[in-house]
Amino acid sequence: MTEHTLTVAGVAVDTRHWIGGRRVASAETFTDVSPIDGSVIGEISRGTALEAAAAVAAAKAAFPAWAATSRAERARILHAVADGVEKRIEELSIVETTDNGALLRSHRRGVMPRVAHNFRFFADWLLKLEHEDFETRGHTNHVSWDPAGPSVLITPWNAPLMLATWKVAPALAAGNTVVLKPAEWSPLTASLLADIAAEAGLPAGVFNVVQGYGSEIGDALTSHPDVRRISFTGSVPTARRIAESAAGNLTPLSLELGGKSPLLVFADADLDVAVDLAVEQYDNAGQVCLAATRFLVEESVAEEFTRRFVEKAATLTQGDPRHETTDIGPNIHPRQLEKIDAFVQRALAAGARAVVGGHRKDIQYYAPTLLTDVAQDSEIVQEEVFGPVLTLQTFSTEEEAVRLANDTRFGLAATLATADAERAERVTAQLVAGTVWVNCFFVRDLQAPFGGSRHSGVGREGGTWSFDFYCDVKNTVTAPNGWKNHG
Ligand code: NAD
């Protein structure tokens, strides 16, 4: 324990950066606050361009040896990281809940096991990563994935460790070295991951963590000429700034951004399934990029759907995310709550009707909300709120449903409730979305491509797509024995 150690719900967390295999403090700090009750958790090292440069230098120095490490050895170490995560599921869960306010039971049962799985999956995928050789006039084409270099990974607060490791694991598996910049509202589990990675035997400098405000440290990371890849999850305005900053070096970018995804409920759907899917959209207090926040319901069943939704929403318990019976926790920050409420109040002033909620509960908690009587071109239908705020509109034909579904600048996901398989196929083919779920939601396999269309993102990660992004993909053409080029 040092003066730089915090005890968070009984767990020791180092508040300093992790650079080149050692802890580094900044001159300045920022205050980390718990969304559960607004209490101060502690002071965290606040990175500047200096620490950004040091972290990239450490990642650059460690790169040649890590890139030359055999696939089998890289995979072995990633499995050891997964072991370390599994051993500390309880600690990671309570620290994450304290830091970002998401449900403790979800962290224990779903999120942290999935963090470990991120490492295991990409370790195993690395071992079977190959493209069958092919021939061109007797010449052999061989495809290989070469490590690209230091990678900067920038992540948001809504699912901190899960989203971070979804990038860290494939980047390390690919043979790249990493500088992770967690969100300033939830930096703690990234620090714990540094401890776990070191214990697992990841060499110094292969994995680095720098903390701080994106506005202060971001440019120094994303404009650095030694950085070979940038993967970012967050908001559209930040993505624009990162793209501008990366443009000088033409650093390849992967951008996973916001959404305004639809849930289409057709009259032939099993309404119980549809209502279950709809209520699920309040998960994580609505702070889910993939959330289907726009309900589009066929007119003939809209009344019945709404009645059942209201009934079901009334059974949800909102409160302390550490309690086993809580369904909806707090929002991340009073500032976020203000933003959410401003969206709702502007929508109500414009003529929307709150069928459920429509107001804040206190400074940290927003009442789950469903708004009807909203116009397609209104702000509440077009802009991402990132809180427990949903809208409901009706349609009378399949064409209208598709038109409304596609009529935003986003294209992250879409969810369909229908009993008609042909309709599902027809509608899916017309939707602009990186992921479509039919009669289900949030089923995610790590080998599937993941990403968004339009302003929801650039590129795809997942399975081989992750290696395509983090690597320099090379094709080697070899002439047959004794072959002479006669022009
Ligand atoms: P944000 O864009 O404000 O911040 C995300 C990260 O970017 C933080 O670490 C922040 O410090 C950093 N950052 C800020 N300015 C920067 C700069 N100039 N240069 C470099 N980094 C900078 O987003 P947020 O509020 O933390 O997250 C919410 C957003 O993330 C929502 O729009 C949500 O939809 C999106 N999101 C998308 C996905 C996805 O997979 N598509 C997943 C989760 C969240």
Other beta carbons less than 10 A from residue 277's beta carbon: 22
Count CB atoms within 10 A of the CB of residue 480. 10
Pocket test for ligand 1, best of 233, 244, 455 (most atoms within 8 A of CB): 233
Which residue type is seen at 448?
A
- Total Cβ atoms within 10 A of residue 94: 18
Pairing of strands 261-265, 207-209: unpaired
How much is the pLDDT for 487?
53
Q: Give me ligand 1 centre to Cα 163, in Å.
A: 11
Q: Which of 360, 322, 321 is nearest to 338 (CA)?
A: 360
Cβ 412 vs Cβ 433: under 8 Å: yes
Per the listing, tokens 């971001």 go with: 218
Q: Which of 158, 165, 410, 458 to mutate to test the pocket of ligand 1 (most atoms within 8 A of CB)?
A: 158
Does the Cβ of 265 fall within 6 Å of ligand 1? no
**Do 18 and 152 share a structural domain?**
yes
252 with 303, same domain: the answer is: no
Ligand 1 centroid from CA 259, angstroms: 12
- Indicate the average pLDDT of the chain: 97
Q: Which ligand 1 atom sits closest to the C-alpha of 451?
A: 41
**Whether 366 and 220 share a structural domain:** no
Nearest CA to ligand 1 atom 12: 214
Site of tokens 């920050």: 333
Specify if 482 maps to a domain: no
pTM of the model: 0.98
Q: How confident is the model at residue 2 (pLDDT cuts 50, 70, 90)?
A: confident
Note the pLDDT of residue 278: 98
> What pLDDT is stored for residue 484 in this prediction?
82
Average pLDDT over residues 422-427: 98
The yes-or-no verdict on residue 337 having pLDDT over 90 is yes
Is residue 222 within 6 Å of ligand 1 at its C-beta?
yes
* Closest listed residue to residue 55, CA positions, set 187, 157, 207: 207
384 lines ligand 1 (CB under 6 A): yes
Contact yes or no for 390/294 (Cβ under 8 A):
yes
Residue 177: the pLDDT is: 99
- In-domain check, residue 447: no
Same domain, 145 and 64: yes
Between the CA of 165 and the centroid of ligand 1 the distance, in Å, is: 15
DSSP 384-450: ---SSEEEEEEESSHHHHHHHHH-SS--SEEEEE-S-HHHHHHHHHH---SEEEES------TTS-B
**Does one domain contain both 251 and 303?**
no
Q: Strands, E, within 221-334: which ranges?
A: 229-233, 253-256, 261-265, 292-298
Question: Is the shortest distance between the CB of 166 and ligand 1 below 6 Å?
Answer: no
Which CATH number goes with the domain that contains 407?
3.40.309.10
pLDDT at 18: 98
- Residue 163 placed within a domain: yes
3-state DSSP assignment of residue 224:
coil
Same domain, residue pair 159 and 65:
yes
CATH number, position 20: 3.40.605.10
Pair (195, 79) in one structural domain: yes
Same structural domain, 174 and 249: yes
Q: How far is the CA of 192 from the centre of ligand 1 (A)?
A: 21
376 lies in the same domain as 293: yes
261 lines ligand 1 (CB under 6 A): no
Is pLDDT of 3 > 60? yes
The total of structural domains in the chain comes to: 2
**Which structural domain range is residue 53 located in?**
5-257+452-475
Give, as one character, the DSSP assignment of residue 284: G
- Ligand 1 centroid from CA 238, angstroms: 6
Query: Nearest C-alpha to atom 28 of ligand 1 is from which residue?
Result: 234
Residue 139: closest CA among 481, 475, 484, 480: 480
Query: What pLDDT, on a 0 to 100 scale, did the predictor assign at position 182?
Result: 98
- For residue range 267-310, list pLDDT tens digits in order: 999 999 999 999 999 999 999 999 999 999 999 999 999 999 99
Write down the residue that tokens 């077009």 correspond to.
Answer: 382
Confidence band, pLDDT 50/70/90 cuts, at residue 486? low
